[in-house]
Copies of this chain bind each other. A is one copy, B any other.
Amino acid sequence: MINKPTLLLDEGKCRSNIHQMVSKARRNNVILRPHFKTHQSHEIGQWFREEGIDKITVSSLTMAQYFAQDGWNDITVAFPTNILEIETINELAKKITLRLVVESLETVTFLAKHLTAPIHGWIKIDAGYHRTGISATNYDGISALMFAMDDADKITLDGFLLHAGHSYACRSKEAIIDIHHQSIEALDTLKKHFDHRYPPLKLSLGDTPTCSVAEDFSLVDEIRPGNFVFYDVTQSQIGSCALEQIAIAMACPVVAIHKDRNEVIVYGGSVHFSKDTIDDNGVDTFGVMVETKSNGWGDVIHGAYMKKLSQEHGTIHMPSEKITQIKVGDIVTLLPVHACTTSNLMRSYQTTADERHIARMSSL
């Protein structure tokens, strides 16, 4: 019985999300190297394996260790290499095919000097997001990185890797497709510029919005979406998914009701949901309320949403005709704004069908 904030997982929806992305990658003849930072769970990783996935992406060396322990042996750490973790890098590189991402010469020089086992290196390319990466038009900088990697005994250059994180600012499929085309064009131009290489340089991209919406991946070698395993309210607003595809939801006990303010107070706050918020028709929302069902959740309750979060308290706005149906001690259910951060805070999942507990990586 649920009596505390609980992160529900609809295994059927989750497996369906995985299956659809695997099918799309197959149709396009690209490698799907899913990002596992969203679920961070051995068991959910297994659902990918059952679909034939054997290469993954993670965002930290700690996460790489966690999945290597479960038999994943081809892992890309899609994060600028943290040279302070060189010991972990060497330990992992001895055991698995470890692929690191670099964008600066200092990092390559350091790795060349301190690696004791072979790694693969991707050059992180920035084609518009401007978070990390070397500019896609900075041929001199990219050449210098390539030479340094070629010179390093223990580094094999794989190719160019890009994350079009600015797709998260999109609010239409057309805008997402535009970014997708820009990303592919930037990578393809680079590949042509350096076409003397043998074996040819590979191209890797993929965030959940572009991989969910685009249909043509013919010029790239691999895609790396992650969030699609669960999706969330943000992805539905971007246009990556329907609300019905969202595979996780927060179940929270009602502890107080203030009908005069149309507010329901639940046990479930910022330490459970995270402070991620989204503008939903002009209102800042931390979660969208859905019908609570015995085996999961149902339709969206129009006009009911999480409006405020304190550390343990959540304040839900509910329309007058709905709030009268709520009692102290009820469980209410909300779709999260950002699946990655909510899952990170909640640290485990409870399946809706059989109330099974699914563990996540426990350490940071």
Among A110, A270, A312, max chain B CB count under 10 A is at A312
Of the residues B265, B340, B346, contact of A132 by C-beta under 8 Å: B265
User: Interface of A with B (CB < 8 Å)?
Assistant: 1-5, 37, 59-60, 62, 79-85, 103-104, 106-107, 110, 130-132, 165, 253, 255-258, 261, 265, 267, 270-272, 274-276, 308, 310-313, 315, 327-329, 331, 340-341, 344-347, 364
Per the bound structure, the CA–CA distance linking A239 and B37 in Å amounts to: 38
Name A271's closest neighbour in chain B (CB-CB): B344
Q: Which of B79, B165, B257, B328 contacts A267 (CB 8 A)?
A: B79
Question: Across the interface, do A267 and B346 meet the contact criterion of CB distance under 8 Å?
Answer: no
Question: Least Cβ distance of A131 to chain B in Å?
Answer: 6
List 26 A–B pairs whose Cβ atoms lie within 8 Å, in order of A's numbering.
A3-B82, A4-B82, A4-B85, A4-B364, A5-B364, A37-B311, A37-B312, A59-B312, A60-B312, A79-B255, A79-B313, A80-B256, A82-B253, A83-B328, A84-B253, A107-B255, A107-B328, A131-B308, A132-B256, A132-B313, A271-B340, A271-B364, A275-B276, A275-B341, A344-B345, A347-B364
Residues of chain B with a CB closer than 8 A to A80's CB: 255-256, 265
What is the bound-complex CA distance between A131 and B258, given in angstroms? 9
Residues of B within 8 Å of A4, CB to CB, are 62, 82, 84-85, 364
When distances are taken between beta carbons in the complex, the residues of chain B under 8 Å from A265 are: 80, 131-132
A38 — nearest CB in chain B belongs to which residue? B311
* Set of chain B residues within 8 Å of A276, measured between Cβ atoms: 270, 275
B59 touches A130 (CB 8 A): no
Beyond the given A59-B312, A79-B312, please list 10 additional residue pairs across the A-B interface where CB-CB is below 8 A: A4-B62, A4-B364, A60-B312, A79-B255, A106-B327, A130-B261, A132-B255, A275-B275, A275-B276, A346-B364
A317 to chain B, nearest CB (A): 13
Q: Which residues of B contact A106 (CB under 8 A)?
A: 327-329
Listed from nearest, the 6 A-B pairs whose CB atoms lie closest are A3-B84, A275-B275, A80-B255, A80-B256, A59-B312, A106-B328
User: How many Å lie between the Cα of A315 and that of B1 in the bound state?
Assistant: 42
- Chain B residue at minimum C-beta to C-beta distance from A257: B104
What residues on B are CB-neighbors of A110 within 8 Å? 328-329
